[in-house]
Structure formats: C-alpha cells, structure tokens
Chains A and B, each alone.
Chain A
C-alpha cells in the first residue's frame, strides 16, 4: 500500500510530458524516475555552474582534454546546441556557407524525395506533442525542411528512414532549422561512415564490427548468436541507424550524442558493448531467435539505462580498451568481407 501511495504521489509530481515534449509511456515508472532525478538534479546543477564558467566570454568552443572530460559528464541543455555545433564542425560549415541552407530550400525539388519524406512526417515522434499534426507551433514543417534540404545537399544519400529521428532530436535540442541541418550533415556526412547511402555498406560494416568486438570481449554471447545463426543486424540495426533514438531514454540518448559529436562513431560501439556486457547473463538465458531478440529489447529498458550519468561512466569503463586503430582495422576487414559476399 505504501509503495502504491508513493508511486501515485510521484505520478502527481512528475509531469506527464517530459521537457522535450514526449509523453511518458503508460508503463513509466514515476517513482523510480523521481528517485533518480532527485540525485541527477544535483549533478545537473553542479555541471551547469562549471559549464557556465568554461563558456563564459562567449568564445567559440575549442576542443581540448578539459572539454572532452566536461562533455563526458554531460552538456547542459542550454549549452548543448552550441557545444554540438562547435565540436562537430557544423558551426564552421554554417559560417563558411551563409545562405546555403535557404538556397537549398528554394531550388527545384525532387518529387520522389519529397514523397519519401512526407510518408514519414506523421510517423516521426507521434508521441511528442510538438511534432503532432495540428500542434502550434508544429515541428513537422521544420523537420520536413531539414530533411528535404539535406536530401538535396547530399544526393548520394537523399533520404533514408532513420534520419527523420536524428533530425527530430536535433530540432528539439537546437530549436533552429539551419543548425539542425548542419548538425545532420555532421552526423550523416562525417561522423557516421556511410550508414545511410542506398547500399548501407557502412551500417552493415559497423554491425559486423560490433559482432567481432563481442566475439573478442564477450565470447559467450557471440557463441549464442552463432549457434542460432543469428545476424547482428536483426538485433542492433535500430541502435546504429537511429543512434539509440527511441531505443534508450531521451536524456540518455542526448548524453550519448554529446560524446558522439565530440569523439565520433566509436561511442556507438561503447554503448552497445556496455548494454550487452551488463546483461550478458540475461542474454545467455535465451534459447531461440525470438528469445534473443526479446532480450536485446529488454536490455534497453530499466534503471540501468535511465540513470544516464552512471550509464555514461560505465560506457567508458566497461567495454575496456577500444582504440581508434583497432576499430579502423576491423572496419576494413569487415567491409572487405561484405564486399566479397556481394
């Protein structure tokens, strides 16, 4: 009874809609969230003071060891757009190409591109009040513009499903169409190696790379996957394509993206390996393919991922060493293998 009362009290205190406009799911654990947030709030406050000091004076964001340490501990929401823009090179691109974004939107439009994007408009965050048709202001138009401009800017990629979720988050964080466009360019064009092009070779490569990393670091899980002939793409494609959007809690995703913009795509492997390692015993209970798939969904839920601050500390300790050189080597090997398979 007491715990039911606490749960109800938490339900009354915690808003139904989160700070980003997402409605909390039906089964949201309000009590657990409130408990986590009371601790996290203190961290947020401390970080906010530190960041204000670091960024005072309004100078550009310069990459440094201090900045890297700060970013790993979380960028406060009010500075997030500026920091992402700075460390990803998006700001520099935007400054060097004034008027380019508007020019893209004013040019001639590709019908099939428009159609593909339009199909996903009502299917991007229907659970977010700001993206819902009829909301005021409605971010669907902004999203449409960003994706359309990007499709014309990067014709080799055009529009790939999944980019709608990336652009959606960028819009929620930056509240700026043009900045979202340049950040999307940083992600799709530079940070993620060839994930979204029609061949999706980079995506397939990285899924294989994860498989190889698991084989080295968590051989029992690799053996389980092998014994069922299960391909990694089946369980992790959404992790890679959506960069954990709609897989992990919003706050956790943003903390991951803080590091992704600063440190690059390696972070995705760190997150994936941490999730798998933490829940290795649970995964190994699986006895069939659907069972494994279910476990891989299950490991993206619960307090381990909601408690984003601890989670982010774990991604840098749990998977152990993950050098850039070894990732590059693995990518090369996996890519060659995929190409040989045709």
Chain B
C-alpha cells in the first residue's frame, strides 16, 4: 500500500522553463514530449529526475512568458495524444477539436506568437491548429474582407503613405 503511494509522486517529473522575459512556467514530462525542441534540449542539457530539483530552469530565450504559459496549457491538455504526422495532407483533413477552438479564440497578436512558438518549439499539433485557425479566418472571403480582417492596406494606400513620409522628410 505504502509503496505505490511513495512511487507515484516520484515518477512525475515537472520541468521549470524560464522564458525570454524571466517568467517561469511548469510543464510535466508528458507535456514536454509534445515539443521536439524541448525534449531535445532536456536530453542534451542532461536534466534528469535526480538533478532536476537542484538545477536552474530550462532556458527558452525565444518565447515570452505569456506565450509559454499558453503553450504549456495546450501541451498539458494534449499530453496523452499522439504527435501528428509531419505531412501537408494532415492539414486538409484536420478538424480542430472544440477545446482547442476556444483556446485559440484570442487576439491576433497572441495567436501570432503562439504559431511562432509552435514553430520554434516544434509542436506539430499546435502548429496545425494555429495555421488552420488562420485559414478558417480567410476561407470564403472577398479581397476587401480579407484586408479588413487582417488589417492590411491596399498597395495604393501603402504607396500614398510612403509618399507622404518622403514629403515630410524633405520638409524636415
């Protein structure tokens, strides 16, 4: 009776990850396996169950704390899932689960950061869901609607702004 109780906590490794802005996030061992980059980092830097408590958090300098917290949340949610196949055809048939749809209903800025993080950390599931979410924003829209949704000027507007800036610079 006491043996299983004693073993259970010991078997669960929780990694501390320090982000570019110094914020520390936690991820379980299974969640970390969703990220190939993190898995390799842990292996290469020699983090083990024996020394995890005494060492500094794992450094991830390309992702900020806010984004890393969301990454950790998604990886914990999917820690038991198989990693999707690295294949473009996966994207065509992919359906975003309901939990993830809600999870990704965030501002463009945050979604952008998440997609970049999924690329750097090599988290296939998050990458596919993120890219598919942006696709769905663009599907079936007219050109004018696309500009409005993504906040893009027409080339004429950009050219006009450039001209105005040059004129202003000349005045200066």
The answer to whether A and B come from one shared complex is: no
Report A's interface with B, CB cutoff 8 A: none
